[in-house]
Structure 1
Amino acid sequence: MRVLIATDAWRPQINGVVRSLERMAEAGPDFGVTPKMLTPEGFRQIGLPSYPDIRIALATQRAIAERIADFAPDHVHIATEGPIGWLARAVCLAQKRVFTTSYHTRFPQYVAARWPIPESWSYGFLRRFHGPAAAVMVSTATVEAELRQHGFDNIVRWGRGVDLALFHPRPQSVLDLPRPIFLSVGRVAVEKNLDAFLSLRLPGSKVVVGDGPARADLQRAYPDAVFLGTREGEDLAAIYASSDVFVFPSLTDTFGIVLLEAAASGLPVAAFPVQGPRDVFAGSGAAVLDEDLRSAALQALRIPREICLELAGRHSWQASASQFYGHIRRVARPQAAPDTTAFASLCGAEGRERHRLTA
């Protein structure tokens, strides 16, 4: 089975969406799937307004149609609601292709944190985007309930995982800082609510790993905090394992893969009692969720690391991929040749000839 995954979020971005999709692509062969990524790579790009580090593709519907035709997928999954996502959606609708989508970010809350746009408008935008999908994949029960309240009804669950071979406790610390060390990892942007963490009166040290448009302002505002920039792989895993508590101040994440990475490193979590942390840690004892984030961080110091490791052990990327490809197989059907007239209107004579040769 050939599955095309269309996404606006891709390298060099480092975030949960990219990591999740990379893992799905890596696991594809284990499930009899040949995956291919359709990303902004190869297109002219511009920086996202207010967030220039995120590059968005200046693609055309014709160019997207040609890439889909070149791969001739049995199924298309659309992961994001950006230009690549909208154009892939348009091609699928024109060619009467069945497709699935996924919802990774609380987009209405993300937008409201940056611009005075009512959440109802954003939910209308999302309903239009995801409505034609055969299934919309969400990470948790809370996200599912929230979307159903806003008129979504084609929702299925797709959980996330953690690389237990990479993220695990280590005997030596790579951080020579006063303890306890309170760590936060993620995009350094307004929607991550890092002020709520950095403004806390806590003993020891506060460490931030990640980069983004808010970093310079936060470094000026909180000179006592340690900003380590972007870290990956063994370097990132060693920082997790060298810390004492993971503080997750975000109010808008749908899941937060960093939560599982922290737990797998033996790191207890302090967070607000919101979706994401509430879903990941329900009944586990591996986190303290409290509206008073300072109290949560201090209480988390008393959580045994063994409890965190037990929670992380229940989440694997293999199980996540099983859900992802299971949903796709359930809704996919043998793909008839796309409507020639629709295809020609998208691609022109060159695209029509390419379609004739690959049909």
Structure 2
Amino acid sequence: MSLPSLAITLITETFPPEINGVANTLGRLSEGLRARGHRLQLVRPRQSSDQGRKSDEHLLLTRGWPLPGYPGLQWGQSSLHKLLRSWQRQRPDVLYIATEGPLGLSALRAARRLQIPVVSGFHTNFQQYTGHYGFGLLTRALTNYLRWFHNRSQLTLVPSVSQQIELQRRGFERLELLARGVDSQLFHPAKRCAALRERWGLAEGDLAVLHVGRLAAEKNLALLVKSVHALQQTHPQQRLKLILVGDGPQRASLQQQLPDAIFCGLQRGEELAAHYASGDLFLFPSLSETFGNVVLEALASGLGVVAFDQAAAGQHIRHGHNGALAVAEDQQGFIDAASWLLADKESLRRVRLNARQHASRQGWAAIVELFELHLRSAMQPQTMLKAAHPDV
């Protein structure tokens, strides 16, 4: 007997067409839930493309404030009374709160008043970002707030085992794993483009060292610079060129430090897939990811991925088999891992084949099905009882 469809409300400060890992994940989950027959309401701040657009039963738009250091992204304004009116008129079965800003907090408060079960998602390590942006003193306060916030939901979904262990150590409760998938038909080695590599100035046999992501302090890009310079010195016989896809506040500084690198800016869809597939080696030095969708996208595109042994890389890469890993914080280990991949063409070829084979099995369908099960479990009376807290 099939289970009844649900009325699900998703609350988030970011959503496609905005480009970031959270928006990408939420877009995939939303599509998957609708495809499974569920009724979905999206609550988010008004985007620049929403001029003249009005809220309806499927979309509730709120005002937003610019998010410092993240042009184009915003915090949703607290909207307690608007949410109460909407949910009293059309009550959801369950909420998924993806972001912990003022909009997410007002949704949590409204849910407590109306006794609607809540699942929250831990998508971004904001508590780690404070040090990179000169607000190190706020780290403890932000961690305390995030723990308080998530411990008032029935469940908190985390994307990786390493993240789950870290949050448990910090007192977060009722954590469940919800990994990420990848569109392995979009991100595919067959999208490799000779014309694009030619525009990058690469000849046959040259290697494109790729990085995809936000060019910002929290991405540990100083190690990217250091790694490329080290590889060029240790492998002088191999012509390498660094290709950066993405944008952010550190772009101008990186262009000064890496005058020979190619900066491609933001890419989407088929163009992004072509950029991935046209690379050879993928360097991902970030230590601040809850998951790192780009790692799976690079694996699916058949790249030799070098990353630290945590988050997506820790879950999906077996060192020496389908990528190369370094112990977290070990910068020389990261450089050595990249150097090992370049030392032997046959090893790199084998690793790239294995990367594609592994990623092709990491589809979104199973992730969406598990997401639905987590939402249903939050609606059970015993789960509600476990999460009983005073009103927020």
Q: TM-score, normalised by structure 1?
A: 0.87
Letter in 2 for 1:26: E
Residues 198, 206 of structure 1: 8 Å contact kept:
no
Give the drift of 1:30: 3.6
Match of 1:33 in 2: 38
Match of 1:251 in 2: 287
Give the drift of 1:11: 3.6
Counterpart of 2:218 (choices 174, 191, 194) is 191
Instruction: Indicate how the Cα distance of structure 1 residues 284 and 81 shifts in structure 2: closer, same or farther if over 3 A, else same.
Output: farther
Distance 1:216 1:12 in 2: 25
Match of 2:241 in 1: 205
Give the drift of 1:310: 1.7
Counterpart of 1:134 (choices 136, 139, 154) is 154
Percent sequence identity over aligned pairs: 34
Counterpart of 1:172 (choices 193, 211, 218) is 193
CA RMSD of aligned residues (A): 2.0
Residues 225, 257 of structure 2: 8 Å contact kept:
no
Residues 192, 249 of structure 1: 8 Å contact kept:
yes
3-state DSSP of counterpart to 2:40: strand
Residues 160, 312 of structure 2: 8 Å contact kept:
yes
What does the per-residue CA deviation read over 1:155-214, in whole Å, with 9 as the maximum and x for residues that have no partner? Answer: 111010000110101253322233211111111211111221123313411111111222
Match of 2:337 in 1: 296
Residues 93, 116 of structure 2: 8 Å contact kept:
no
Deviates more, 1:65-74 or 1:211-220: 65-74
Residues 309, 325 of structure 2: 8 Å contact kept:
yes
Distance 1:70 1:40 in 2: 21
3-state DSSP of counterpart to 1:76: strand
What does the per-residue CA deviation read over 1:80-100, in whole Å, with 9 as the maximum and x for residues that have no partner? Answer: 111221111111112222100
Instruction: Indicate how the Cα distance of structure 1 residues 2 and 110 shifts in structure 2: closer, same or farther if over 3 A, else same.
Output: same
Match of 2:371 in 1: 324
Structure 2: runs of 5 or more not aligned: 1-5, 47-60, 233-239, 382-392
Ranked by relative contact order (alpha carbons within 8 Å, sequence separation 6 or more), the top structure is 1
Instruction: Indicate how the Cα distance of structure 1 residues 118 and 62 shifts in structure 2: closer, same or farther if over 3 A, else same.
Output: closer
Match of 1:84 in 2: 103
Residues 47, 53 of structure 1: 8 Å contact kept:
yes
Letter in 2 for 1:294: I
Distance 1:313 1:45 in 2: 38
Give the drift of 1:59: 4.1
Distance 2:78 2:140 in 1: 28
* Residues 49-128 of structure 1 mapped to structure 2, 5 A cutoff: 49-69=68-88, 71-114=90-133, 115-117=135-137, 119-128=139-148
What does the per-residue CA deviation read over 1:110-150, in whole Å, with 9 as the maximum and x for residues that have no partner? Answer: 22222222543322111111011110001111111111111
Give the drift of 1:253: 0.3
Give the drift of 1:106: 2.0
Deviates more, 1:251-260 or 1:51-60: 51-60
3-state DSSP of counterpart to 1:246: strand
Distance 1:312 1:286 in 2: 10
Give the drift of 1:261: 0.5
